[in-house]
Structure 1
Amino acid sequence: MTLLVYAKERFSADFAGPARFRRLDRIVTVSNARAVTICLWHGIALVLAVPLIDRFWDVPTFETYLPLDSQWFLFGVGWVLLALSVPACGWVEDVAARRRPRLLP
């Protein structure tokens, strides 16, 4: 975040370009609306990804075709778990802010 603020000031960068793409704009909107949830759950998602991947080693097909020992696979599984935690727990942010709870903003 600090790098983005620095780049905006230093290079007069305009970050309005990604807003033209609807899906990317939607991802940024949801990320901003669920920033606290993402901040609280990202570490837990990465910690839970490790035992989940350990269970994948017991399935011969997964062991053969998935890169289970790769850090990038761990990173991907962590992102999937984080994506699941946003709709599961994000509504609590709305309740705390005294807004009407929504699954995805």
Structure 2
Amino acid sequence: MVDLRKKLRSGMIAVTPAGSYLVLTDCETANYGSQDFCIVGPDGFMIGSNYDENLSTIRGICSIKALYKSTVNGLTYEMKYKDKDLIWTKDPKNLKELIISRRFSK
């Protein structure tokens, strides 16, 4: 099985049941030390050490359900994304999403 945590890159948009977050890799945090990644939103952040290799957490509300490529513009901090920018999804809804997600997971 592939460890999806190692495939994350800064700038990706991580979608969770709680909202959308910007992925930052190689984070240094004030209270949690060095982290391989953090996902950052307008109201806070979550640390990578809380995630398993499938991008899930004990508290499901923080589990990453999909990843999107971001385009940097004036709306970047709103974590907006388009379906065409899908990189990976935990629950593909069609063949296209399944193919995209499998490519990322290799």
Larger Rg: 1
TM-score (norm 2): 0.25
Larger fraction in strand: 2
TM-score (norm 1): 0.25
